[in-house]
Amino acid sequence: MSRRVVITGIGWITPLGFDIDSVWKKLLAADSGVARTSIFDAETFPTTFSAEVKGFDLRNFLAPADFDRHKTASRQAAFALAASRIAWDASSVAKTPNLDKTRIGIYLGGGEGPIDFHNFVAAAIDGWAYDKNGLDYQRWADVAYAQLDRTRELEQDPNMAGSHIAELFGLEGPSFNTLTACAASTQAIGEATQMIRYGDTDVMISGGCHSMIHPLGVTGFNRLTALSTRNDSCMTASRPFDRTRDGFVLGEGAGMLILEEYEHAKARGARILCEVKGYGSTADAFRITDIHEDGRGAMASMRNALADAGVSPSDIHYISAHGTGTEENDKIESKAIRGVFGDLAKKTPVSSIKSMMGHLIAAAGAVELITCVLAIRDQVLPPTSNYQNPDPNCDLDYVPNKARPSKVTTCLSNSFGFGGQNDTLIVRAL
């Protein structure tokens, strides 16, 4: 018999802020975290705006000695460290008598890429020996460390965030990272849940982190025509399910949860936020950039999660949609929900917080699951903002523009990633 898994701590770093309750209030008020991009000069790009994390300083989250050890962390790893610190402290798990840290693991959905893109490119350009049509090692070696910000490591490996977290808390259990694009942190939480269920660990820090607001990241998404180009009204550019949607808004951040075996949490008197009841994961096996037009993978993922949780569509009070604001995603996700929920589809509230904080890529699913936890806690649903023009292909209840008080006991959260990755989680009040 598998063991039960509960959530005892949550933390996030988002474009709307860092404190759990203040960010939640902004989401319920339909505030926007979108503005002109300031991390780099994007004025010549097709998309000149994004949802940046602003005012972030790792010093505000770590003790001085800890900061000194982790000051070289990449931007996304620093977000992960801060969100983990918030969640870890909120859970009070460190106060457990005789805590066995070999039974505490890490499972993240983490991003990729050089952490100081501008200086890395400058070093590469300066180090290139054009007259030799190649890279001159000595010139590269001389220039690289003069150009690179010496307060940071050049961390390209996605697993670095997990390594920083393990060192910060002294965790000696298993540490994993998955990079399944926009589904990464939902998959990480699902797999971390399985590890606890099957007795491999008692506690897991799980979630995701990502930062792709740099010229390479924006160029890639612009070339895919995935980003909104509504430069004249960027604060309302993210409009999931709206007929005039024209792409997603790129965001960044981190979301972390403390997952814990139920008896372990109960024995130490932990404050339990809710229970992770179901997890489903599928692949479309279709195209690397497109969802299957029938939504077959998305439907299978939701059905698998419902079966794993032992609940039916009638038990779901709220769906946290992937809801990116792209033409295809929103249409096909709506179709998939209709396919799974049938006559209940139009009666089940669905919303996308990407309308307010953009798409956090590998961190999106974790942050969105946290909003499900808060919806259960406060019995209120976050809205889909900027929804003004109904689309006949998207005909569900998207909680338009205004938060809604509602009975919320069980929530379903979807994440779909490039490559045809589909992941679904179900959480329920204990």
> Which H/E stretch holds residue 350?
strand 350-351
Span 5-38, pLDDT tens digits: 999 999 999 999 999 999 999 999 999 999 999 9
**Domains of the chain listed by start with CATH number:** 5-115+152-428 (3.40.47.10), 117-147 (no CATH)
Span 246-261, pLDDT tens digits: 999 999 999 999 999 9
Confidence of residue 138 (pLDDT cuts 50, 70, 90): confident
> Is 134's pLDDT higher than 70?
no
- Which are the catalytic amino acids? 182, 322, 359
The whole-angstrom separation of Cα 243 and Cα 103 is: 49
Q: Which of 348, 309, 313, 331 is nearest to 416 (CA)?
A: 331
Mean pLDDT of 76-105: 96
Q: What single-letter amino acid sits at 353? A: I
Span 208-233, pLDDT tens digits: 999 999 888 899 999 999 999 999 99
Q: Which of 106-120, 279-293, 351-365 has the lowest mean pLDDT?
A: 106-120
Confidence of residue 154 (pLDDT cuts 50, 70, 90): low
Span 161-185, pLDDT tens digits: 999 999 999 999 999 999 999 999 9
DSSP-derived 3-state class of residue 225: coil
| pLDDT for the residue numbered 265 | 97
Average pLDDT, the chain: 92
Span 343-397, pLDDT tens digits: 999 999 999 999 999 999 999 999 999 999 999 999 999 999 999 999 999 999 9
**String of DSSP letters for 128-184:** EEGGGTEE-HHHHHHHHHHHS-TTS-----TTHHHHHHHHHHT--S-EEEE--GGGH
Confidence of residue 74 (pLDDT cuts 50, 70, 90): confident
> Is 414's pLDDT higher than 90?
yes
> What is the pTM (predicted TM-score) of this model?
0.94
CB 202 within 8 A of CB 208: no
| pLDDT for the residue numbered 144 | 63
**String of DSSP letters for 54-95:** -S--GGGTS-HHHHHHHTT--HHHHHHHHHHHHHHHHHTGGG
